[in-house]
Structure 1
Amino acid sequence: MTTITPKASAGLEAVTEAARQAPGRGLPPVHLWNPPHCGEIDIVIRADGVWMHEGSPIGREALVRLFSTVLRKDPDGYHLVTPVEKLRIGVEDLPFRAVAMRREGEALIFTTDVGDEVRVDADNPIVVETKAATGEPRPRLHVRRDLWARIVRPVFYDMVEAAEAVDGRLVLRSAGQAFDLGALS
């Protein structure tokens, strides 16, 4: 078990306090904060979306949601950020998972595993890459400021059903934009 140093423990408290200010007032402006790097904290977001602290799942959904509001990706990795501290965390794949999709008028709205709702449009695109070794599609959705969500398999199946064939490709439309899901096979 990893021990949190007193400085990292104080950082965890600061992150929690900064995040508590977000509900009801939108997301905190983490992109405007430029605090000093204070080290690493033993938090890992697993590929399956589970947030781990010191090897154990963080069981409180509200705490995960709070942390997600102060998450930022910098050139050197993912960090939980407050106005006065920045702590690096680990992310195995992408920090969020898109777990639901619905259509509202001409737009698709995705819900992430931390409760964010994302309207798919030119600013929040869907990107589908293919795993070289298996040919498996790896769809993702832009959530905010270089933070992405992996689209889970059942939602991807819903996307494929909602897509249309255009010139041998599957195309999904949202908010006046067309998103290529891949070749028809």
Structure 2
Amino acid sequence: MTNQATSSGLSGVAEAARQAPGRGLPPVHLWNPAHCGDIDILIRADGTWMHEGSPIGRTELVRLFSTVLRKDPDGYHLVTPVEKLKIGVEDLPFRATTVRASEDGLSFTTDVGDEVTAGPDHPIVVETDPATGEPAPRVHVRADLWARIARPVFYELVERAEVVDGRLAVRSGDAVFALGPEGAGLE
């Protein structure tokens, strides 16, 4: 994309996202604009949003962009009613940076300010790297967007875990989520 197109794309995305605060998330699932190309935005595995190789330093802007993020079969896009710009994502778009237990269950807050309570609509999934045995926990945020559960938060979950059918598991509301096999170094 040219600099003018990139500038225009960022402005359009930012303007569409600004309409979200206080009114919930924009209905990106209803928008079907033409694909306008790629934009040099990358969400790194550590959660840092980069634009043209530099971190986006304004957290408000990152939050705005996160509200118009959508995952389609061909990848992640920033979507407005009139533009669809593909971005890069190294791992998952969000990080679950805190967890809080309440009578409703386990509530996670992401690095972009989303809050979700684990349950049937927001499952916790832990995959294990077959080569290293390292757990890769995530929690569903919205649509097809997930948050990688940060290591300290995962350790909190492991501390809360109980053994269910030979696996460490946590409860949130009426749901039970397996974290991994008992004695697999998660304890």
Into which bin does the TM-score normalised by the smaller protein fall?
A: over 0.9
Question: Which residue of structure 2 aligns with residue 117 of structure 1?
Answer: 115
Offset of residue 7 of structure 1: 2.3
CA distance in 2, matches of 1:4, 1:176: 51
> 1:4: how far off?
4.1
Deviation for aligned residue 1:23: 0.5
The 5-angstrom pairing of residues 2-151 of structure 1 reads: 4-151=2-149
Q: Secondary structure at the match of 1:38?
A: strand
Runs (5+) with no aligned partner, structure 1:
none
Q: Which amino acid aligns with 2:45?
A: A
Secondary structure in structure 1 of the residue aligned to 2:42: strand
- SS of equivalent residue, structure 1 residue 24: coil
Contact 2:104/2:117 (CA < 8 Å) preserved in 1?
Answer: no
For the 8 Å contact 2:127–2:136, the answer to whether it is kept is yes
In 1: Cα distance, 2:182 partner to 2:35 partner: 47
Q: TM-score, normalised by structure 2?
A: 0.96
Deviations 1:139-179 (A, max 9, x none): 00000000000001000000001111122210110010000
Q: Tell me the CA shift for residue 95 of structure 1.
A: 0.1
The residue correspondences of 1:150-165 to structure 2 (distance < 5 A) are 150-165=148-163
User: Are the aligned partners of 1:35 and 1:84 in contact in 2 as well (CA < 8 Å)?
Assistant: yes
| 1:95-119 deviations in Å (ceiling 9; x for gaps) | 0000000012041100000010011
Contact 1:28 1:70 in 2 (8 A): yes
Instruction: Give the total of aligned pairs.
Output: 183
CA contact 1:19–1:70 (8 Å) conserved in 2? yes
Separation in structure 1 between the aligned mates of residue 135 and residue 93 of structure 2, nearest angstrom: 18
What fraction of aligned residue pairs are identical, expressed as a percent?
A: 72
Q: Any unmatched runs of 5+ in structure 2?
A: none
Q: Distance in 2 between matches of 1:29 and 1:82?
A: 9
Structure 2 SS opposite 1:132 = coil
Provide the C-alpha distance between the structure 1 equivalents of 2:173 and 2:9, rounded to a whole number of angstroms.
Answer: 40
- SS in structure 1 of the partner of residue 130 of structure 2: coil
Does structure 2 retain, via aligned residues, the 8 Å contact 1:106–1:176? Answer: no
**TM-score, structure 1 normalization:** 0.97
